[in-house]
Amino acid sequence: MSEQDKNDALWGGRFQDAPEEFTQEFGASLPVDQRLWRSDIAGSIAHAKMLARQDIISDEDADAIVDGLNRIAADIESGDFDFDIADEDIHMAIERRLTEMIGEAGGRLHTGRSRNDQVATDTRHCCKQLAEGLMSQVNDLRATLIALAERELGTIMPGYTHLQKAQPVLFSHHILAYYWMFTRDFGRLRFAYAAADVLPLGSAALAGTTYPLDRDLIAEELDFSSVSPNSMDAVSDRDFVCDLTYAASVAMMHLSRLCEELILWSSDEFGFITLSDAYATGSSIMPQKKNPDFAELIRGKTGRVYGDLMALLTTLKALPLAYDKDMQEDKEGLFDAVDTLSSSLAVMGGMLQTLTVNAERMAEGAKGGFMAATDLADYLVGQGMAFREAHAIIGKLVLDCEQRGVTLQDLSAEELAAVDEHLDEGALAALDLEKIVAARTTDGGTGNEAVTAQLRTAKETLQDDQLGMLT
């Protein structure tokens, strides 16, 4: 590029010196924000049409602008658009090309507009689409979790607290716990969508403009629900980017917890599940290895998404009103967080659909750890004993079993009766894992009937959320 061309930046009039190449690169956001091109073109078309409707520019100029922008869109789509870092950002790149193509009319597009309200509009427009994409992906994962819980209904596994065996639960109950996490993630994404759904265009640089713009018309054309009420807030607000990145962070946190469990469960020590070969990798040296790399990677990538959120919050901290160039840093982390969550959701879906549940290993595990102890104590309570006394008696029995190397289920009726006269025949039944699980009848508990009811509610909430997305 010649020195003269360099000086031809869109604000060239005021400037005598051309920028250095490295400062130009430093200041440019084009490599990141070119991803906003669809939103930028949609926003410019809406703006041009409104300008003509308000008699601020002529219909001929508006037609030429719209036609030119559509041709640019086709060129970008087909990869024929020449992105040049000297253009700084996607807004300048498109406007420069438009003026090259259609001449003077192109120079009228930016009437009553600043890049400050333009970038805020583009980013919000794009965030709405990104949030929608993630919402539907989250719903796909919710459907996968429901299908898995339904398929394995009846499978018993050890439930843990402190990662120590606690009480037997249904595997479906455990899986549905994740269903509810992702249901809340859907709600957070929907909130982020609504947060982005406000039109800043018409705020100009910071103070509004002297042209008689019709902001409602643009909002309607671009499908924004409302227009921003304060031009200074409109150009400096990036809360909606925080909201989406936060929603992504929490969803990644949930994925990472599920990954951690899949990793544990697929170890030889647990053996509760077997991951499909498609979701595992081998070792270059140890022929026997099958590693849960993909689950580990999702777990690892969670840290990066948190980083994106922290970077954004830190960038925004203490920024004075109104627009500051610092805010240009918002998009890299936003796109990274969204892309990382999107690919992680896809991988998790495939991993869950293809894993094998080893029901016998889970049942075997549920026999260990004295998990019937609470129920045995409850049995004594049923016989009229105070819970604290029952707790002490069963606690001593567990210690005794542990020292002898036997489980509660190994005890005979005589051995039980010898511990306490109340531990009669009925106590043997209290040791049955299936009965123990089935007895957890509280709403939201692990009893078979409660879980069947929970499955029904889960399906209903998913259906509501899916329908809600279409309206």
Alpha helices in 197-292 (DSSP H): 215-222, 231-236, 239-265
Q: Which of 9, 33, 45, 411 binds ligand ARG (CB under 6 A)?
A: 33
From 39-47, 319-327, 359-367, 391-399, span contacting ligand ARG (CB under 6 A): 319-327
CB of 202 vs ligand ARG, minimal distance in Å? 16
Which position among 283, 343, 344, 391 bears the catalytic label? Answer: 283
Give the distance from CA 465 to its chain's centroid: 16
| Closer of 116 and 315 to ligand ARG (Cβ) | 116
Which of 119/411 has CB closer to ligand ARG?
A: 119
Stretch of 39-47, 217-225, 320-328, 332-340 lying at the interface with ligand ARG (CB under 6 A) = 320-328
Beta bridge partners of 357: 273
**Backbone dihedral angles phi then psi of residue 210, each to the nearest 5 degrees:** -85, -15
The residue type found at 214 is D
Among 121, 144, 228, 328, binds ligand ARG (CB under 6 A): 328
CB nearer to ligand ARG: give 29 or 249: 29
- What angle is formed at CA 10 by the lines to CA 9 and CA 15, rounded to 5 degrees? 60
Rounded to a whole number of angstroms, the minimum distance from the CB of residue 203 to ligand ARG is 12
**Between 47 and 254, CB nearer to ligand ARG:** 47
CA–CA separation, 356 and 414 (whole Å): 40
The DSSP code for 414 is: H
CB of 207 to ligand ARG, least distance (A): 13
CB within 8 A of 122, min separation 6: which ones? 33, 36, 39, 40, 43, 90, 91
Shortest Å distance, C-beta 331 to ligand ARG: 7
Residue 278, exposed/middle/buried by CB under 10 A (0-12, 13-18, 19+)?
exposed
Of 212-220, 323-331, 344-352, 360-368, which part binds ligand ARG (CB under 6 A)? 323-331
Q: By the 8 A CB rule, do 235 and 324 touch?
A: no
Residue 29 or 340: the one with the smaller Cβ distance to ligand ARG is: 29
> Hey, what's the torsion of the CAs at 445, 447, 453, 458, to 10 degrees?
60
Provide the CB-side half-sphere exposure for 56 (13 A, CA). 19
**DSSP helix/strand/coil, 92:** helix
**Which is the catalytic residue, given 2, 162, 284, 412?**
162
String of contacts with ligand ARG for each residue 267-306, x by CB under 6 A: ----------------------------------------
User: What are 156's strand-pairing partners?
Assistant: 170
Is residue 29 a contact point for ligand ARG (CB under 6 A)?
yes
Residue 327 or 401: which CB sits closer to ligand ARG?
327
Instruction: Supply the minimum distance, in Å, between the C-beta of residue 92 and ligand ARG.
Output: 8
> In the bound complex, what is the minimum distance in angstroms from residue 327's beta carbon to ligand ARG?
5
Two tokens, residue 67: 């036609």
CA distance 460 to 454: 10
Q: Is the Cβ–Cβ distance between 249 and 309 less than 8 Å?
A: yes
Q: Rounded to 5 degrees, what angle do the CA atoms 89, 59, 48 make? A: 25
Active site residue 2: no
* Per-residue binding letters, 140-179, with ligand ARG (x by CB under 6 A): ----------------------------------------
**Is there binding between residue 44 and ligand ARG (CB under 6 A)?**
no
**Longest CA–CA separation in the chain, Å:** 101
From the CB of 326, what's the least distance to ligand ARG, in Å?
9
Q: What is the CA radius of gyration of the chain?
A: 31
Nearer to ligand ARG (CB atom), residue 143 or residue 313: 313
For the bound state, the minimum distance from the C-beta of residue 29 to ligand ARG, rounded and expressed in Å, comes to 4
Should residue 327 be labelled a site residue for ligand ARG when binding is judged by CB under 6 A?
A: yes
- Binding to ligand ARG in span 63-122, by CB under 6 A: 89, 115-116, 119
Nearer to ligand ARG, 317 or 404 (CB): 317
- Binders of ligand ARG: how many residues, by CB under 6 A? 10
Q: Give the chain's count of helices (H) and strands (E).
A: 20, 6
Reduced to 3 states (helix: H, G, I; strand: E, B; else coil), residue 207 is: coil
162 part of the active site: yes
Give catalytic residue positions. Answer: 162, 283
Binding site for ligand ARG (CB under 6 A): 29, 33, 89, 115-116, 119, 323, 325, 327-328
